[in-house]
RNA sequence: GCGGACGUGGUGGAAUUGGUAGACACGCCAGACUUAGGAUCUGGUGCCGCAAGGCGUGGAGGUUCAAGUCCUCUCGUCCGCACCA
């Protein structure tokens, strides 16, 4: 019989579907595993990255099913988002139509891969039911003060007339029309993720054993906790007068309080309140205002290219020296970090130095470079001994930091504070294809939340998607509504939510079974049973945003009482990219390989085998058509050589001692593969080495003819391979073993017992020869035999040392000529 | 600039704790079977060398009987963040 993948694969896919083979059990007393690959965006077609992602996840899911676990392995669709609207703009398709057509098509593609997904929990995040539950959470979060609306500085595309997410800004320009973006102040809904900054940082410790170090570090840096001193710089009398006594001063933050005596100027962000006040009240000349306006309107990229600033004709008093210090506006001061104002120490900060040099500002050194430090031109940013620092002269930088902070606190001049780079998460999008934010603007009551019984606030189907403006805002009637509070005329919020909101809780939704599917998003019991996700598999590109947001939602839901754990994903596996000709596969480069074509040519099993064999899952995978062919040949051999195997429903009993050398070796290889498989599935995830082990075992089986050994070998190898190449394994196992072999197989120790061992022989650590010795030979006998074998290399030399590493090697150390 | 990952044959990659470097596969070479093969099977294949032997895990040192693995320095590639005060 010939290996015919298309026939076999169709047969088993149908079988699995008819038998609901992969639906999890409702019995919560069973041991469970929750295996999750990140759900796809329905872009239209599957790409190789998807195939890799789902092949890895499927391997885990199938392995744990074999091991007797109740496995949840769901799939769904992250189906809101810009690409649907872009397709509408480009091709005139309705976003909804486009999305659900794509889902239908990709569903079919996924089915041909033979992935063991639970189908009964599948959903798309654009489903109204999902929107309804999500809007409910939004209301809860608003009640808890975790959602608020405020004016914020946003990325604005002047051409497309919309706000863009940071990730939609490519090198300072709009990703769609390439127009340079500007910062614009607008109303915006924010999640108060900063309230959880410390928890998000601290709980990374819980993830140390299960998450890649790289991801933990990226999250840590993103949160960006830094501790330092915050204090107020007070204006001198003249400046206060100038400001009509509207401001006494402003706060600054520093992580280097030891350099405080070196402050020679201070700088405000162009967006700072004081600056705004001065502009609005005519306190600045036109040239200055023009310069500040230019700073505000320049893109962030531009702003980084060169430093610029203007003096404000204001002065503050140094809190310790009482010196008078000029106040500048500088483009490098960011409004959204710290207090939007800095104390500048040009002598010990490169950025401050550059600015001071450019504008000829005073530089005052206060830290002596260490003797061994190389003193170059510019700022000395290392630690050292303080001078020019009054009572703190002679202190070491490190001591000085705590001493100065203590002094500020004692004198009530300032306080220790912690700052984060993490900002509150702005979720408003002026977009159609997203979940509406469930709020209402009422002239009488102000901003009012919808009532839960009115949910979902669904999208209207009849919209014009032009790419300009907000389609919901432009819709003639959709936004008109009654105020949930006073019943008067009101308008709906027309912003929709960032799609990262949907992906922040989809893994919880999968825990809900049919029994309460419509009624509630999930139950606490179901979450308690299925969560956390045991293996979460996805691309490294989600290392920060998605994974941080999902962690945030989990903590919020915990505090809202929906669940009882801190972290959603126990083990995270970040897969590498799929490359071709050294570059990421992409349509624009024309180096894609179409999964459909691959499956129809070789079958899903070949695609899956190649993808898992070509590289460890965390590494980049270089596509190789020849190697795909090789994977196919292996499966063909696996199918052909089953002719050596007889049908049975029990593992053959084999008298190991009676076997020939080749037969013993084949058994050993088979059981080695079994041992390695367990390690790989549970600890190492290097499926490539496991597959190599199976290939070695196959090669060894082929060197002998004992049908018991063949049969035992297939019994075990098919079980190991089933999670990787399920169709061929189910087919062969059905024919030969009635699938009795798909369960935990026991390792038999006797196959690893050997009569002789081959030892490596080396002289001075250099390998020279090898020899075979009996397992029971004494060390002395081994050394003697080794010396004889190594005669040629040790003749006439003095033996200094003899080292025997049991079962490995003998090393003779010699001296002299 | 800061942080992280990684450098092993012609190629993808093996080598749990320091212990026979190159498993497994691709490619290539040779042979067999074939009307034919881009099918299948068998054998070979790190580099230099006729051989003996020598050299080999980015480079330079070091520790050790023994280093791909540990330490120091250095070069290169990739990724993330970035005027963060």
Task: Give residue A769's pLDDT.
Answer: 82
What average pLDDT does this structure show over A82-107? Answer: 91
CA A618 to CA A52: how far, in whole Å? 11
CA→C1' distance for A809 and B18 (Å): 14
Q: What are the E-state strand segments in A278-323?
A: 309-317
**Residue A698, nucleotide of least CA–C1' distance:** B24
Identify nearest nucleotide to residue A803 by CA to C1′ distance. B65
Give the nucleotide at minimum CA-to-C1' distance from A759: B20
Does the structure show a pLDDT above 70 at A618? Answer: yes
Give percent above pLDDT 90 in chain A.
73
Q: How far is the CA of A695 from the C1' of B65 (A)?
A: 36
- pLDDT bin (cut points 50, 70, 90) of residue A816 is low
> Please, which pLDDT band fits residue A159 given cuts at 50, 70 and 90?
confident
Tell me, in Å, how far CA of A588 is from C1' of B9? 34
How far apart, in whole angstroms, are the C-alpha atoms of residue A157 and residue A179?
Answer: 7
For A626-666, the pLDDT digits (tens) are: 999 999 999 999 999 999 999 999 999 999 999 998 999 99
**A167 alpha-carbon distance from chain centroid:** 15
Q: What is the pLDDT of residues A428-442, one digit of tens each?
A: 988 899 999 999 999
Q: How far is the CA of A541 from the C1' of B79 (A)?
A: 10
Q: Across residues A225-229, what is the average pLDDT?
A: 93
- Answer for the pair A106, A42: CB distance below 8 angstroms, yes or no: yes
User: Would the pLDDT of A376 be above 60?
Assistant: no
Coil/strand/helix, residue A325: strand
Burial A35-44 (b: 16+ CB within 10 A, else e): bbbbbbbbee
| pLDDT tier for residue A520 given thresholds of 50, 70 and 90 | very high
Query: Which nt is closest to the CA of A307, judged by C1'?
Result: B83
Whole-number pLDDT of residue A772: 81
Q: Which of A292-296, A418-422, A445-449, A760-764 has the lowest mean pLDDT?
A: A760-764
When the pLDDT of each residue in chain A is averaged and rounded to a whole number, the result is 91
| Minimum-distance residue to B66 (CA–C1') | A765
Q: Are A100 and A148 in contact (CB under 8 A)?
A: no
Say how far apart CA A429 and CA A82 lie, in whole Å: 10
Q: How far is the CA of A208 from the C1' of B5 (A)?
A: 17
Measure, in angstroms, how far nucleotide B29 C1' is from residue A623 CA. Answer: 25
Tell which wins on pLDDT, A769 or A222.
Answer: A222
C-alpha–C-alpha distance, residues A593 and A587, integer Å: 10
More confident residue, A294 or A32: A32
The maximal CA–CA distance of chain A, rounded, in angstroms, is 108
Q: What is the pLDDT of residues A542-594, one digit of tens each?
A: 888 899 999 999 999 999 999 999 999 999 999 998 988 777 887 777 788 89
Which is more confident, A214 or A694?
A: A694
Which two structure tokens, joined as six digits, stand for A111? 């089915």
Q: Identify whether the C-beta of residue A722 lies closer than 8 Å to the C-beta of residue A733.
A: yes
**What pLDDT score does A175 carry?**
66
CA distances to A155, A186, A478 from A168, in Å:
9, 18, 27
In this predicted model, what pLDDT tens digit does every residue of A102-115 receive, in sequence order? 999 999 999 999 99
Q: What is the mean pLDDT of residues A447-471?
A: 90
Which of residues A302 and A564 earns the better pLDDT score? A564
Residue nearest to nucleotide B14 (CA to C1'): A689
Nucleotides of strand B lying closer than 7 angstroms to a protein CB:
2-5, 11-16, 19-21, 23-27, 39-42, 53, 65-67, 79-81, 83-85
The CA–C1' separation of A692 and B40, in angstroms, is 22
Average pLDDT over residues A529-550: 92
User: Between the CA of A751 and the C1' of B19, what is the distance in angstroms?
Assistant: 24
Could you tell me whether strands A147-157 and A809-815 are parallel, antiparallel, or unpaired per DSSP bridges? Answer: unpaired
- Give me the pLDDT at residue A373, please: 53
CB A11 within 8 A of CB A57: no
Nearest-nucleotide field for A614 (CA, C1'):
B12
Q: Find and give the residue nearest to B78, measured CA to C1'.
A: A620
Per-residue HEC secondary structure of A722-757 comes to CCCCHHHHHHHHHHHHCCCCCCCCCCCHHHHCCCEE
Percent of chain A with pLDDT over 70: 97
**Angle (nearest 5°) at CA A468 between A462 and A469:** 80
- Distance separating alpha carbons of residues A39 and A75, to the nearest angstrom: 6
Instruction: Using the CA of A672, give the nucleotide whose C1' is nearest.
Output: B23
Dihedral of CA atoms A711, A715, A721, A727 in degrees, nearest 10, equals 90
């Amino acid at each position: 019989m010939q290996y015919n993948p298309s026939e076999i694969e169709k047969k088993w896919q149908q079988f699995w579907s008819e038998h609901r083979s992969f639906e999890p059990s409702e019995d919560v007393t069973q041991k469970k595993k929750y295996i999750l690959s990140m759900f796809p965006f329905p872009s239209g077609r599957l790409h190789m990255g998807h195939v890799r992602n789902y092949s890895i996840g499927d391997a885990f899911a199938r392995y744990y099913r074999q091991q007797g676990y109740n496995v949840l392995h769901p799939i769904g669709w992250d189906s809101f988002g810009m690409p649907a609207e872009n397709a509408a703009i480009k091709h005139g398709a309705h976003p909804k139509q486009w999305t659900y057509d794509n889902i239908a098509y990709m569903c079919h593609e996924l089915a041909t891969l033979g992935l063991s997904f639970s189908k009964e929990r599948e959903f798309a995040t654009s489903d109204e039911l999902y929107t309804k539950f999500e809007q409910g959470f939004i209301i809860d979060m608003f009640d808890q003060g975790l959602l608020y609306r405020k004016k914020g500085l946003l990325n604005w595309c002047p051409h497309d007339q919309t706000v863009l997410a940071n990730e939609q800004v490519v090198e300072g320009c709009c990703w769609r029309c390439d127009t340079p973006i500007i910062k614009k102040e607008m109303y915006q809904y924010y999640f108060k993720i900063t309230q959880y900054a410390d928890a998000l940082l601290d709980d990374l410790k819980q993830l140390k054993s299960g998450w890649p170090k790289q991801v933990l570090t990226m999250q840590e840096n993103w949160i960006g906790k830094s501790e330092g001193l915050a204090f107020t710089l007070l204006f001198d009398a003249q400046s206060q007068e100038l400001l009509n006594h509207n401001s006494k001063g402003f706060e600054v933050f520093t992580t280097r309080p030891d350099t405080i005596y070196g402050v020679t100027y201070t700088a405000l962000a162009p967006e700072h309140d004081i600056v705004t006040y001065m502009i609005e009240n005519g306190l600045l000349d036109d040239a200055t205002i023009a310069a500040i306006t230019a700073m505000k309107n320049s893109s962030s990229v531009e702003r980084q290219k060169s430093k610029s600033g203007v003096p404000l004709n204001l002065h503050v008093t140094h809190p310790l020296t009482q010196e008078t210090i000029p106040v500048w506006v500088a483009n490098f001061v960011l409004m959204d970090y710290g207090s939007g104002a800095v104390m500048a120490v040009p002598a010990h900060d490169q950025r401050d130095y550059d600015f001071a040099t450019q504008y000829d500002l005073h530089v005052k050194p206060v830290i002596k470079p260490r003797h061994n430090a190389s003193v170059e031109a510019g700022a000395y940013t290392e630690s050292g001994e303080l001078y020019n620092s009054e009572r703190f002269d002679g202190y070491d930088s490190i001591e000085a930091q705590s001493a100065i902070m203590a002094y500020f606190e004692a004198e009530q001049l300032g306080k220790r504070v912690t700052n984060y780079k993490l900002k509150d998460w702005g979720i408003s999008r002026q977009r159609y294809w997203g979940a509406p934010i469930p709020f209402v603007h009422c002239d009488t009551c102000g901003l009012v939340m919808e009532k839960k019984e009115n949910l979902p606030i669904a999208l209207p189907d009849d919209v014009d998607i032009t790419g300009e403006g907000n389609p919901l805002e432009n819709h003639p009637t959709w936004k008109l509504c009654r105020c949930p509070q006073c019943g008067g005329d009101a308008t709906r919020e027309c912003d929709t939510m960032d799609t990262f909101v949907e992906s922040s809780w989809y893994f919880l939704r999968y825990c809900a079974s049919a029994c309460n599917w419509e009624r509630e998003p999930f139950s606490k019991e179901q979450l308690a049973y299925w969560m956390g996700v045991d293996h979460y598999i996805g691309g490294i590109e989600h290392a920060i945003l998605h994974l941080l947001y999902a962690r945030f939602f989990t903590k919020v839901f915990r505090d809202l009482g929906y669940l009882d754990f801190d972290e959603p994903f126990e083990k995270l596996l970040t897969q590498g990219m799929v490359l071709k000709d050294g570059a990421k596969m992409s349509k624009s480069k024309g180096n894609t390989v179409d999964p459909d074509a691959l499956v129809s040519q070789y079958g899903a099993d070949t695609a899956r085998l190649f993808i898992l064999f070509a590289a460890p899952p965390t590494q980049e995978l270089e596509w190789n058509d020849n190697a795909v062919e090789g994977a196919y040949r292996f499966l063909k051999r696996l199918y052909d050589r089953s002719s050596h195997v007889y049908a049975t429903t029990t593992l053959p009993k084999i008298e190991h001692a009676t076997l020939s050398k080749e037969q013993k070796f084949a058994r050993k290889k088979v059981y080695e593969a079994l041992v390695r498989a367990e390690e790989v599935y549970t600890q190492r995830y290097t499926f490539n080495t496991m597959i190599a082990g199976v290939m070695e075992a196959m090669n060894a089986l082929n060197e002998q003819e004992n049908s018991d050994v063949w049969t035992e070998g297939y019994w075990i190898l098919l079980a190991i391979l089933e999670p990787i190449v399920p169709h061929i394994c189910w087919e062969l196992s059905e024919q030969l073993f009635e699938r009795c072999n798909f369960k935990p197989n026991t390792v038999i120790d006797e196959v690893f017992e050997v009569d002789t061992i081959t030892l490596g022989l080396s002289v001075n650590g250099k390998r020279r020869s090898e020899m075979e010795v009996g397992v029971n030979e004494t060390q002395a006998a081994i050394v003697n035999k080794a010396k004889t074998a190594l005669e040629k290399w040790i003749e006439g030399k003095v033996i200094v040392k003899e080292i025997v590493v049991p079962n490995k090697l003998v090393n003779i150390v010699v001296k002299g000529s």
